[in-house]
Structure 1
């Protein structure tokens, strides 16, 4: 029979854990609200930049270095956006497994030739890919302690500079796209070289506006040269905000599930405690009755 003191200690421990997970859920909910606000504010801006860049690129007569398509792809860069903290369910592992699946299926030759590099944003991504001996050329643990546009843009600007300089021939971003509090979509998308077809696809909802004949000052090429770097920076900035909102949603869901599980476990322990207590009382009564009978017989 289980010791009553041990069961009481377990009930107390589970109750304390339940209080912690409940508090973490409330903190994640508050952070999620702020993260969603930032994400929703950025989405229309990023979409409009893609629209304008797509229209300019389509009608531009000259090419841009970030639109350079190499004859052969020799080196590839992946920018993987994870999180700094855990306790968020499968948020990190699901993304990292998807990235590894993509690498093994589509980029195996680059892995074998040591021609694939990774920039890891977040402590978890940095630790995961370093532990598995991937070529992590740069890591940013603690990145989400203070999410700043300047920090994000500096990462993208460096990747763009390396692409233009020929160090990398393709650049990809891997992140969790926010769909709802309980759902995130794992995305791996190519950002360099910029494909005008993708820009037009992003702008398909505004197809009616593309028929308008715009006048550009000073000229479309000059505007395009200024706009494309901004478009690239916004791609990574949006991915970071989407990932942050997804992380908070995943943590809130995980902590809510943990709280409910703790409640169920506490109920089971209390039932076990009452059963053990009842058994102990029954045993004591039986011993008292047996003792009384023995005295009366004597």
Structure 2
């Protein structure tokens, strides 16, 4: 049990910390509203484009795609995997970064166990710092994820996408996967993995929708699903669509990650403020008990001295 002066100092320190965490919670809440609006507005476009590209890949399965860009079918090999991992630039976000890094590390171990070469493109300082310590030779590049006061910009997503596209077209990597947190609400952010290159042949959640697939095939009148008529030809069209798809998926992931970061920070700071209040109550109780004990001891000493006289 410390002295009264020490207890007063600790109570004052915890109160100062609570002021900071409360202020950070309010700042995160104000930023969350804007980030959530942007993420939810971009999500339908990104999901629709991902679904369209998946259907396109299914429709062209078995066709000669050698003339198409490598973004469509990759290099044809499965030796080198590029993992694009999105974390936050700043901390104090609870388990937001650690949950995503845990998913990415599990995937890395799985690929390494299969004898694959893993390369990492880190988006966000926290992920970049982590892999700079754990796997420095695997990191090929890093980008900041913080969009600044104006939020995430499409130019930022385009820079990241251009780096990915350049590596794929040069044949430096065979497969590209994106690891990012999907925003659910302020308390929940779901780490997910999405395939970027080659184009996935199965849409997320489509595997269980057999009735819808059968109905679509019946309407198309063909057992192999819908076919596409290209105007202009598929090579020219996909040369423009494929890079755009990568940019859109990166942009959407950046928005989802930004919203998730603010939600995680708001929740973490709220929990910290609550814990600080509980700690202040506990310290105040200890302070009052110590003060009462000191008063009682002084009274006993005065009474004892008076009786001795």
Q: How many residues align?
A: 291
8 Å contact kept, 1:120–1:126: yes
Match runs of 1:1-298 below 5 Å: 1-59=1-59, 63=65, 64-65=68-69, 66-110=71-115, 115-134=117-136, 135-141=138-144, 143-145=146-148, 147-198=152-203, 201=206, 211=219, 217-218=231-232, 222-295=236-309
8 Å contact kept, 1:78–1:119: yes
Instruction: State which drifts further: 214-223 or 44-53.
Output: 214-223
8 Å contact kept, 1:39–1:238: yes
In the superposition, the TM-score normalised over structure 2's length comes to 0.85
Structure 1 residue runs without a partner (length 5+): none
Q: Provide, for residues 53-80 of structure 1, a one-character-per-residue CA deviation record: whole Å limited to 9, x for no partner.
A: 3444444565332222544312111111
In the superposition, the TM-score normalised over structure 1's length comes to 0.88
Instruction: Give secondary structure in 2 for the equivalent of 1:278.
Output: helix
Higher share of residues assigned helix: 1
Question: Structure 2 CA distance, aligned partners of 1:45 and 1:126?
Answer: 29
Instruction: Give secondary structure in 2 for the equivalent of 1:139.
Output: strand
Q: Provide, for residues 239-296 of structure 1, a one-character-per-residue CA deviation record: whole Å limited to 9, x for no partner.
A: 111111111111111000000000000000000000001000000110111111111x
Question: Structure 2 CA distance, aligned partners of 1:246 and 1:56?
Answer: 31
Structure 2 residue runs without a partner (length 5+): 221-225
Q: Provide, for residues 163-199 of structure 1, a one-character-per-residue CA deviation record: whole Å limited to 9, x for no partner.
A: 1221100011111111121111111222101123338
Instruction: State which drifts further: 43-52 or 166-175.
Output: 43-52
Question: Structure 1 CA distance, aligned partners of 2:279 and 2:103?
Answer: 33
